Amino acid sequence: MAQGFDPAAATAAYLATLSPEAHAKATAYTQGGHWVLLWGTLVSILVSWIVIQTGVLARVRLGLERKKPRPWLAVLVVVIVDAILEGLLSIPWEAYSNWWREKSYGLTSRAFGGWLGEHFVRMAVSVAATLIIFSLLYGLIRRFPKRWWLWGGVGMGFVSLVFFIAGIFLIEPLFNNYKVAPPGPMRDEVVAMAKQVGVPSDKILIYDGSKQSNRYTANAGGLFGFGRVAMSDVMFKKDADLAEVRGVVGHEMGHYVRKHILIGDLEAALMTLIGLYLVDRLFPAAVRMLGARGVTGISDPAGLPVLSILFAILGLLATPISNTFSRWVESDADHFSVVHFNEPDGLAKALVKTIEYRADSPSKVEEFIFYDHPSVGARVRAMMVWKAAHPKVEPAATAPTAPAP
């Protein structure tokens, strides 16, 4: 069948399933998303700046430590006050970028009330997470004033693994309802796939992902034996066929089998270590520039919004680096899927469904800076090149067919 099969033409045929108008809309949404990232950084800097100008955190800390130093209590109270203030100040921006914008592109059907309720749950989770992270961080700064950034990087590696596991068991169930997937050919297929590549196959779950978005999502794995495969009900509702499910779930299993979570964790720990080192160096100058009155040094929790601003700027600068790592991981998972389950067309079909909200053929520079997954154009092309080199023997796959619209 390889004769006459042209990967470039097959890729173009897949991308052409979206009308030119829809392509234009996807490009507008994607490029708007780049601006959301940039503006989001500015908004979080502005919000931290406002909190700094009020001087409220320094007053809270002074009040608590009037009689004697109570560093743990000071961090606890200051972090909570700061997280609540910043969380509330950010609501208009969050409502615009996470809800209104998604809604105007038809990517969510949630009512504002539902979104806002969920946002407060998210805020509470983030206050708790911030509290844990900054209690540890300020503890490290007091304990190792010179080398806290080194221990911070190492600690980050551990904490993010704990958060990852906690996310599966404590946080995801706050937002979605996870149930055992209903018996049927879909579940049998996924169980067989899991067995084939050594993914835990006893827990195949379905969650009501259609509640948040019409996007096509699944995730496989977990860590250290906390394994499971979770699939959005969208995968069962839309015109998903077995080939598509095999392609997508095979990709997710690739993340698990190829230990992408652990590798990603090491990458994040290293980036954190470098980031914290820079924060340590830049902090005194930032305090002066921002006019953070009453902040006595980096160990003073009243300087938290100064840290937030440094984190926001460094985080933005690190985006292309972490995106490049993430794109590598994603192509690796695609490759895993196609090598083990040989569904280049299944995966391509599923990928093409995502180009409604992610432009498929960005410029190289745009992809390098902003794309955390390789562009769909590049991913479908990789699938088609693989297909050309590995013809299937089954009669069903003899001809390169254009995907159904």
Instruction: Write out the residues near Zn ion by the rule CB under 5 A.
Output: 330, 333
* 119 versus 358: smaller Cβ distance to Zn ion: 358
How far apart are alpha carbons 47 and 83 in whole angstroms? 11
- Residue 51 Cβ vs Zn ion, minimum distance, rounded to whole Å: 36
Enter the tokens of residue 85. Answer: 């203030």
Q: Which is nearer to Zn ion, 51 or 333 (CB)?
A: 333
C-beta of 351: minimal distance to Zn ion in Å?
11
Task: Identify which of residues 259 and 293 has a Cβ nearer to Zn ion in the complex.
Answer: 259
Least distance to Zn ion, CB of residue 380, Å: 15
Residue 167 and residue 130: Cα distance in Å, rounded? 14
Cβ at position 180, least distance to Zn ion in Å? 24
Cα atoms found within 13 Å of the Cα of residue 84, Cβ hemisphere only: 7
User: Least Å distance between CB 1 and Zn ion?
Assistant: 28
3-state secondary structure string, 298-319? Answer: CCCHHHHHHHHHHHHHHHHHHH
Query: Closer to Zn ion at the Cβ: 82 or 330?
Result: 330
Give bridge partners of residue 218 from the DSSP assignment. 231
The runs of H, that is alpha helices, within 169-231 are 172-175, 185-197
Spatial neighbors of 332 by CB under 8 A, at least 6 apart, are 254, 258, 260
Number of residues that make up the chain: 405
- 228 pairs with which residues across the strands? 221
Would you say 306 or 333 has its CB closer to Zn ion?
333
Sign of CA dihedral 56, 60, 63, 68: negative
* H/E segment holding residue 249: helix 242-257
Nearer to Zn ion, 240 or 347 (CB): 347
Between CA 294 and CA 55 the distance in angstroms is: 8
Cα 292 from Cα 51, distance rounded (Å): 10
Residue reference for tokens 């159904």: 404
Q: How far is the CB of 324 from Zn ion (least distance, A)?
A: 15
Note whether 241 and 216 are within 8 A (CB). no
The C-alpha atoms of residue 268 and residue 249 are separated, in whole angstroms, by 25
Cβ-based nearer residue to Zn ion, 279 or 333? 333
Minimum CB separation of residue 25 from Zn ion in Å reads: 24
Q: Rounded to the nearest 5 degrees, what angle is found at the Cα of 191, between the Cα atoms of 190 and 196?
A: 95
Rounded least distance, CB 80 to Zn ion, Å: 35
Closest CB to Zn ion among 103 and 258?
258
